[in-house]
Amino acid sequence: MTNEELQSLQKRVQRLEAIEAIKQLKARYLSACDSKQLTLIRDCFAEGEIDIDYGAVGCFRHRDELLALFDNVGNHQHMVEMHHGQNPRITLLDEEQAEGEWGLYYFLINSEENTLTQLGGVYADRYRLIDGQWRITASQFTPTSTLVSQLEQGQAEIMVAGRPPQSVTQEA
């Protein structure tokens, strides 16, 4: 193997390792949301100013703003969440920056309000390699479908179904 071929192989392996590390980062984030592990969620995002736009949920410029909302709204035993990321498309921009798109299937059981929510959508993320670890620096979620059901005496009544209305994102 020539020196040029070896360097090419090393670059390809580094690229694959970076893409896998980013996939593991997103999986860690989604799993931490489901298990309500605030520290793990926090560690998935870069320190300092970031850009998170989760539409109707809110816009956040710092990871602690997102965590405060999550802790207040979603960090309860009656909120059983399941985030399923799928079909990742990761593009390395250079050795320290990347962007990606993910499909999301989200399912929520709210045992206090007796509701079931199914949500589909797309994440558009940006990532940066910081101190040898990939972190999320920007994330925008766009919903594509929503189904909310009310549970009454063992029966589910559909409350909302279809494509969610497009809303204007508010600055946090």
Write down the domain spans for the chain. 3-162
pTM listed for this prediction: 0.87
Nearest to 30 by CA among 107, 96, 143: 107
Nearest to 57 by CA among 43, 44, 68, 41: 68
Q: Tens digit of pLDDT per residue, the chain (172 long)?
A: 899 988 989 999 999 999 999 999 999 999 999 999 999 999 999 999 999 999 989 999 999 999 999 999 989 999 999 999 999 999 999 999 999 999 999 999 999 999 999 999 999 999 999 999 999 999 999 999 999 999 887 677 777 777 766 554 444 3
Q: How far apart are CA 149 and CA 167, in angstroms?
A: 22
Structural element, H or E, at residue 115: strand 115-130
Task: Say whether domain 3-162 belongs to CATH 3.10.450.50.
Answer: yes
